[in-house]
Amino acid sequence: MTIVKMPIALICTFLWIGFVCAISFMEAWLKFRAPGITVPLGLGIGRLVFNALNKVELVFAFVIIINIFWKTSDILKWQNLVFAIPLTLVLIQTFYLLPALDARAELHIQEQLVPPSNQHFYYVGMELLKVVGLTIFGITLFKNTTI
């Protein structure tokens, strides 16, 4: 028999994974393949979508944190420490990487010269790590028991 220790955290975790995979790994590059989408238009759409995604991620993170504190007596359990990985990554993205990428996109939109940068690669790498961390965390929320 499988028991879900924190069903709210479980739902938020797998919804979060779905949002990241759908937006970061599909929408982000597919929009540029649509007919009539220019780079400035695609960047404008991307800024809007990724800012919305970030807000949704922060809500999921907040709900999961509340659920952990509400349902767990030992906050420093390894499964909760695993959650610290995607939490840290989303905070880095929120306060550093997204504002930097947003500024670069704005320069592109205004057709100004934009120096080369690896920030998009960092963002994609963080998204991959976030999905792996969330997947491991989500799996740990299931507990097998025998009756």
Question: What pLDDT was estimated at residue 75?
Answer: 67
Question: What pLDDT was estimated at residue 71?
Answer: 79
DSSP labels for 18-71? HHHHHIIIIIHHHGGGSTT--HHHHHHHHHHHHHHHHHHHHHHHHHHHHHHHHH
Q: pLDDT by residue for the chain (147 residues), tens digit each?
A: 778 889 999 999 999 999 999 999 999 989 999 999 999 999 999 999 999 999 999 999 999 999 999 977 676 677 888 999 999 999 999 999 999 999 999 999 999 999 999 999 999 999 999 999 999 999 999 875 555
Q: Kindly report the CA angle at 63 between 84 and 68, in degrees rounded to 5?
A: 55
Question: What pLDDT was estimated at residue 139?
Answer: 93
Question: What pLDDT was estimated at residue 100?
Answer: 97
Question: What pLDDT was estimated at residue 4?
Answer: 85
Question: What pLDDT was estimated at residue 145?
Answer: 53
